[in-house]
Chains A and B, each alone.
Chain A
Amino acid sequence: MKRPSPPRFLARRSYRRRRLIDAARLLPVLGFILIMVPILWRPGATAAPDTALGGLYLFAVWFGLIGAAFLVARILARGEPDAGDGETERETR
């Protein structure tokens, strides 16, 4: 009685690509929030010295952002030439 439902998204590749673009748009927002996190620590008010730890955190965030940007840019650049294929792919398959 139950038939296997057809795949919901016909053009997986272009769908992935659009979500990747969403990620590229959101990455700076994420970065901004992470960079603003130290404000919540109120390092000036604590007794222990925090410069070393804070620096470590900021450089870790920085490195993470660079890595994420690298991945996003590589995948986006690879798909660049057939950027217009999104629509046609959906139609043909």
Chain B
Amino acid sequence: MVPFNILVAVCLVYVCLLFLVAFVAERRAERGKAGFLRSPLVYTLSLSIYCTAWTFYGAVGYAARSGLEFLTIYLGPTLVLIGWWVLLRKLVRIGQSQRVTSIADLISSRYGKSNLLGVIVTVICVVAATPYIALQLQSVTLSFGVFASGTPEGWALPNQSATALWVAAGLTVFTILFGTRNLDANERHHGVVMAIALEAVVKLVALLAVGIFVVWGVAGGWADVAARIDASPIGDWPLVPGRWIGLTLVSAAAIVTLPRMFQVMVVENSDERHLATASWAFPLYLMLMSLFVVPIAVVGLSVLPEGANPDLFVLTLPLAEGKGKLAMLAFLGGFSSATSMVIVAAIALATMVSNHVVAPLWLSLRAGGAKAPGDVRGLVLMSRRVSIAAILALGYIYYSLSGGSAALAAIGLIAFVGVAQILPAMLGGLFWRGATRIGAALGLTTGFLVWLYTLYLPSFGAGGLLSAAVLADGPWGIGWLRPQAMFGAHGLDPLMHAVFWSLALNTFTFVAGSLVTFPGPVERMQGLAFVNAFDHDPGARGWSRGGAEAEDLLTMAQGILGAEEAQEFFRTCAEAQGKAGFLPDTTADFIERLERRLSGAVGSATAHAMVAQFAEGAAVSAQDLLAVASEAQQILEYSTQLEAKSEELERTARQLQEANEKLKDLSVQKDAFLSQISHELRTPMTSIRAFSEILKDPDLPDEMQKQYAGVIHDETIRLTRLLDDLLDLSVLENRKVKLDVKVANLHDLISKAVRSASNTRPERSFVIHRDQPTEHIPVITDTDRLVQVFINLVSNARKYCDAERPELTINARRRGNRIIVDFIDNGSGIPKASQRLIFEKFARLTDTARAGGAGLGLAICREIMANLGGTIAYLPGQGGAAFRVSLPTKPETRAQEAA
């Protein structure tokens, strides 16, 4: 017999192991070594969260009550998996191309990014999942109880309710730790998936071990088992045709509509081809899980005393035979099944709640809408964490209210029928372009309400949430509305009755609603993209022209994706358009890409709403609609080729235009410079001439002589400096500079620069924020030149930052083999029009008097960085002037050139 303490210790060790596996997997994925993590094997194993504690314990109980009927729960999914080419392949393709984050997001995205549908689906899923999660808590608690009651020396289980509470709390922590680290759902939860794959192996091995022990250890092999089956109470097979068909179909529906299955099958899928492997491997897994269920049930019925709970035969049989270790393995198997389901379900539901309920609410409540900058990322992550806790709390409340009495199978089936209500809207959306938002909303609501009324509420028992009178005679005595015999359908078993009426009315209202309503433009476009998901043409675009400012969009995207990711995304897009810097043209294509990227983080409806605030009135043009409506798809094929060509031309034209504008600006500047430089040279010359003439006067007092000589000296220094700068620049520009490469600590270089720059406008108090520990990065470069760049940037900030309390933030970090240093001040920044020019020679934004230099500083910086093999760029959207210096950790090819 296993003492309680050891049992708890084993559980804790097992959970720690899961933590470790998840942690290592996450680490490897971060370093890009995700090879094994993305294998079809791990994908298939992760699908096994279909087999929850309901399978592990409940299947045996189910078999002991109704014979072979339990097989339907596994045969339905088998049919869906072996038919992957038809449905799952399309689902996964759409999931990836639309960056779908959950099943609610799929439905909402298909029907014109409607948040209403997202909310409806979220509600259905949460309501259906609550008893299911309660079921998992119950099974873990029951299995603890088995060990408690079986011991003669007796350790009493502290308290059933307390055990369930501890389990729920532990699961919450684990889920939050590993489920909400990344915001972008498309980044995938490698750690969680890996832990679940491990749990899949544990539960399979445990069930097989118990099965093998029962067949060859307790009974005498297959022949004996067959004889026992024939002799047992379930020897005869009371097959009810309606239930047989209905349960197969409902479980087939559940595998695509259960939020957790959607999460692992579609959202976490990294490669469409994994489906091919899963199509046979997952049914094989299901078959192995079911193989020993009937033998265990039959042997349990014959060996164990009358009245033993058949739901726990998997545990009680080995215990009764005195196999403590096997029972322990079985316990871990059950524990695995329960925990993996709860973790994934909580992640999936929390994503839905935060994307479809919290984020839209927050968007509409906030005064400035999406335009006001803010940390959406933090909000979404926090709301996900809270949602996970809330969902588990709901499960726990349901568990303690229901008293955990009902047979496991009943609760599971109720949840299955609930989520199956999503099926008509989903299938309609994938295969029928005529399906509309209103139709889907009607169908979903009808199905959900009928399910609540006919199955969910009666499941609490007569006198529970529905009074006994209503159950027996219908509300207000109207017999036709009896929850379990609607419209006089007495002949059906309650479950099949609910399945029939809910799905029938659901489908009917969905189809009828779709037929009579008219879809909106975005809806039609999304419909086309979903139904024709395999066409090469991505379909019509949602945004015809950009009306948005790239800088505003960047600010918003930074709030959601995080600064670095957003900047990287904008930079890549700008590069694809043939532009340098961080601000791409806001073409329809770019806005479309941005919206998809955002929807990976906050769901399509929210992303659409946020982008819409910037691109107002530019949503869909008549031409786009014509493209959707016209049946002449063949013409499109030809036009895509033209489009590709014209895109190429457009890009070239844009580059030319940009170059031309720059040239024009430069020529204006050059003229300005010529007058500027003559002015700069003339002013000191004039004063030198004037004062030297005065000095010629022999009667001048000594004091004044000294003073005037000083003035002349100062002016010549100024002249020399100007000429030095010009010379320096020309040397740098011709790449003839000799680099003095040394090893240094970046921290020391920055400190040196800050010190040297402190005599620029020393009268101003100036706060500099630095993260000192992260600055200790070794750098091999020409340190004097680099410090020169830093000094220039810091003193520029000191000179030009117009904030009342000027502040400068310096961030240094290493990314790959490059070092990146950002200088961000809190002033008003540089207007967009000037951003391209500041690095040009003699460019000056303010009037000459304030600048006090010739406008060569940044030009020299740029040339220095080019000589060092790095870059310097203006970083828009930081709330002030911001410069990014990027350089390689060690010099690249310059060394060879120099030699």
A residues neighboring B (CB under 8 Å): 21, 24-25, 27-28, 31-32, 35-36, 38-39, 41-44, 49-52, 54-55, 58-59, 62-63, 65-70, 72-74, 76-77, 80
Contacts and interface: CB of A to CB of B under 8 A. Distances in A.
A31 to B, nearest CB: 5
B236 A51 contact: yes
B248 A35 contact: yes
B605 to A, nearest CB: 32
Main secondary structure of the interface of B (DSSP, over half): helix
Interface stretch (B82-90, B592-600, B613-621, B622-630): B82-90
Given A52-B229, A52-B230, A58-B75, A66 B238 contact: no
Interface of B: 67-68, 71, 75, 78-86, 226, 229-231, 234-241, 244-245, 248, 273, 276-277, 279-280, 283-284, 287, 291, 294
A1 to B, nearest CB: 43
A63 B81 CA distance: 14
B287 A32 contact: no
Given A50-B237, A76-B276, A38 B248 contact: no
Given A24-B85, A27-B83, A51 B283 contact: no
- Of B239, B240, B244, B245, the most chain A CB neighbours within 10 A belong to B239
B280 A51 contact: no
A36 B78 contact: no
A49 B230 contact: yes
B287 A63 contact: yes
B85 A39 contact: no
A38 B85 CA distance: 27
Nearest to A63: B287
Nearest to B284: A66
Nearest to B67: A51
B48 to A, nearest CB: 15
A3 B635 CA distance: 41
A63 B82 CA distance: 12
Given A21-B85, A28-B79, A49-B230, A39 B241 contact: yes
Contacts of A76: 85, 276
B277 A73 contact: yes
Contact of A73 (B226, B235, B240, B279): B279
B639 to A, nearest CB: 19
Contacts of B235: 49, 51-52
B10 to A, nearest CB: 33
B225 to A, nearest CB: 8
A77 B79 CA distance: 19
Contacts of B84: 24, 73
Contacts of A31: 75, 78-79, 82
A50 B236 contact: yes
Contacts of A50: 236-237
A51 B237 contact: yes
B287 A59 contact: yes
- Of A42, A58, A62, A63, the most chain B CB neighbours within 10 A belong to A62
Given A43-B237, A74-B276, 12 more contacts: A21-B85, A31-B82, A35-B248, A39-B241, A42-B239, A44-B239, A49-B230, A55-B294, A59-B291, A66-B284, A69-B279, A72-B279
B236 A49 contact: yes
A58 B81 CA distance: 17
- Of A36, A55, A59, A63, the most chain B CB neighbours within 10 A belong to A55
Nearest to B234: A51
B891 to A, nearest CB: 42
8 A-B pairs closest in CB distance: A28-B83, A49-B235, A70-B280, A69-B280, A69-B82, A43-B237, A73-B276, A24-B85
23 contacts: A28-B80, A28-B82, A32-B79, A36-B244, A39-B239, A41-B239, A44-B236, A44-B238, A49-B235, A49-B236, A51-B229, A51-B230, A54-B237, A55-B71, A58-B75, A62-B75, A69-B81, A69-B82, A69-B283, A76-B85, A76-B276, A77-B277, A80-B273
Contact of A51 (B68, B276, B277, B287): B68
- Of A42, A43, A66, the most chain B CB neighbours within 10 A belong to A66
Contact of A43 (B81, B229, B239): B239
Given A25-B83, A36-B244, A43-B239, A54 B68 contact: yes
Contacts of B81: 69
Nearest to B40: A77
A39 B276 CA distance: 31
A4 B291 CA distance: 56
Contacts of A54: 68, 237, 239
B75 A66 contact: no
A75 B67 CA distance: 37
Contact of B237 (A36, A44, A67, A68): A44
B83 A66 contact: no
A80 B40 CA distance: 15
A58 B71 contact: yes
A30 to B, nearest CB: 9
B82 A27 contact: yes
Nearest to A78: B276
